[in-house]
């Protein structure tokens, strides 16, 4: 019998391919404010971090709220059309539910845009809990979002597996005492950083999650 009762998923870069959307939004923001493109590596390194935190770091001399609105106003225009789902994610979520596991989302994205993506692919009703940016003032890599999700699900840290694509996801899980799984389609975690983060699991195909959960 598996020790896991639930799988917690990050949203951006894990279930949904929003990488191009995010990069285009940053490009728009930098061009609008500074008249130049952002440094790709600098932006990718922030994937998974709350937007307000990143804005404060990248534009310390600007009003963070105005910068966030510049970014989000642009993203609203492209988000619904451009968002896609990574191969196999819908199937694995459906199969986890069929096998009796709980599934949840722990994301630093706002609930409205998270919900928009979930409804576009008809998976919103599959999730037993969602923790989004509005649910807490303390975000990944702090354990608070993960612990809040566990509380909603009524389970303990050792009964959950957290799946993500960024260092913030893996560290959040570790800080919460939850096993983590890194996805190979991450564009923010290369081999060197993966070795440093040392997640308990690593998958190259979404359906591999089933074997991990069933055999834990």
Q: Give a three-class secondary structure readout of 163-175.
A: EECCHHHHHHHHH
Contacts of 100 (CB under 8 A, 6+ apart): none
CB 105, CB 153: distance < 8 Å: no
Dist. CA 24–CA 78, nearest whole Å: 9
How far is CA 210 from each of CA 42, 54, 150, 156, 165, rounded to the nearest angstrom? 34, 34, 20, 20, 18
| Residue 125 annotated to the active site | no
Catalytic, out of 10, 12, 17, 169: 10
Helix, strand, or coil (residue 34): helix
- Give the DSSP per-residue string, 73-113: HHHHHHHHHH-EE-TTHHHHHHHHHHTT-EEEEE-SS-HHH
User: Residue 16: which H helix or E strand, with range?
Assistant: strand 16-17
Residues designated catalytic: 10
């Amino acid at each position: 019998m598996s020790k896991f009762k639930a799988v917690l998923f990050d949203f951006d870069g894990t279930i949904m391919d929003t990488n191009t959307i995010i990069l285009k939004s940053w490009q728009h923001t930098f061009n609008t404010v500074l008249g130049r493109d952002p440094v790709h590596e600098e932006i990718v390194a922030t994937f998974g971090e709350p937007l307000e935190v990143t804005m404060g770091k990248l534009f310390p001399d600007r009003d963070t709220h105005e910068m966030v609105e510049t970014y989000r106003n642009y993203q609203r225009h492209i988000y619904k059309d451009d968002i896609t789902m990574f191969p196999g994610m819908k199937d694995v979520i459906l199969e986890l539910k069929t096998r009796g596991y709980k599934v949840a989302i722990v994301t630093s994205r706002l609930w409205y845009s998270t919900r928009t993506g979930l409804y576009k692919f008809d998976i919103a009703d599959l999730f037993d809990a969602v923790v989004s940016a509005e649910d807490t003032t303390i975000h990944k890599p702090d354990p608070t979002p993960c612990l809040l999700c566990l509380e909603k699900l009524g389970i303990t840290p050792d009964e959950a597996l957290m799946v993500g694509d960024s260092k913030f996801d893996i560290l959040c899980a570790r800080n919460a005492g939850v096993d983590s799984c890194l996805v190979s389609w991450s564009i923010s975690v290369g081999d060197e950083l993966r070795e440093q983060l040392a997640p308990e699991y690593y998958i190259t195909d979404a359906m591999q999650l089933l074997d991990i959960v069933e055999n834990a």
